[in-house]
Amino acid sequence: MPGVIAEMIRHLAPGEEVHINVADAAMEASARSVLARASVANTNVFFHHHPTNDAWCRDHGPIFVQRGGEQLILDWGYNAWGGKYPPFDLDDVIPSRIAAEFGIPVGHPGMILEGGSIDVNGRGTLLTTEACLLNPNRNPDRSREAIEQMLRDWLGVHHILWLGEGIVGDDTDGHIDDITRFTDERTVVTVIEEDPRDENFALLQDNLRRLETMTDQDGMPLRVVTLPMPHPVVYQQQRLPASYANFYIGNDVVLLPAYDPDRDGIAQTTLQGLFPTRRVVPIDCSELIWGLGAFHCLTQQWPAP
C-alpha cells in the first residue's frame, strides 16, 4: 500500500500541493523514505502532524466551501461509517485541527456526513444515495427533508439527486464515489455491470434508470456516460468494492484505480474523453482496495481561495 500511495503522489505533486497527515516526526521520516525510494521529489509535498485512526481522509477530512468571499472549513460529524470501526475520535477532529493550523474559520453543521457520500457539480447540484444518507446508523433523528435542508444550508446546493444502493462490498453503506461522479456541470459517469448474473447488475441498472430521468439545476437532462465494472476482486473470500468511479481529479491528471487488464483500458479511454485537458493515469490498486477504498477515498481537495 505505501508504494501505491507513493506512485499516486509522484503523479500529483508536479501539478499541485500534496498535504499528508502523519502521526508524528517518526512517521513523517518513514513516509519521506518511501517517497525517496519511489523518486518522488519533496517539491509540493507537505507533512502535518495530525494523528488519525485511519487513512480515508475523503470521509473524515475537511470540506472547504466559500462563504461571502471567505474560505470556510466544514467539520461534519464522523462516526466511522455508522460506528463500524471504533475508535474514530482522532479522525473526527481532523477538520478542526487543520482549520486551527491554517487559521481558517470552521463551521460545525452538527450532522454525520462523510465526504465520499456526496458529489457536487459546482453549480448547485448534489448527488448522493439513499442507502447511505438515509441509513439510521448516521442521523437517525433526521428525516430525508431535514437532511436535504442541511445540505442546502451548509453546502450551498439547491438541487439534490438521490440514487439507490451502492456496490457490493462497500462497507460505507453505499457511497456515491463508488458508483456515480460528475465530470462537468451536466455530465455524470456511472458504473454498470454487464453480466446479469453478477450481484451488482440489478442495483447498478436501477441507478442508471434513475439518472436517465434526472436533470441538472437548470432543468436540462443529465448527460450520462457509463463505465464498466472491473471483474470481481476478491480477498479472503470477501468481495471488495473495486470500482473505476473512485478516481481523483487533480489539476493536471486524473488518477484512475486499475484492477483488471481486460477493462482498465476501457475506463481510461472513457475518462480521457471526458477530461481532455488532463492526463488520465491508471495505477494498479489491487493492494489498496484490500482496505476497501481507492484514490478518491484517500484524498480531499483543497480549492484555491
What are the residue numbers of the active site?
297
Angle between helix 2-12 and 25-37 (nearest 10): 70
Residue 200 CA to residue 221 CA, distance in Å, equals 25
Q: Are 253 and 12 in contact (CB under 8 A)?
A: yes
φ and ψ at residue 61, rounded to 5 degrees: -80, 180
> How many beta carbons lie within 10 A of that of residue 271, not counting itself?
23
Name all contacts of 97-104 with Cβ < 8 Å and 24+ positions apart: 97/50, 98/48, 98/50, 98/61, 98/62, 98/73, 99/62, 99/73, 99/75, 101/48, 101/50, 104/71, 104/72, 104/73
In single-letter form, the type of residue at position 93 comes to: V
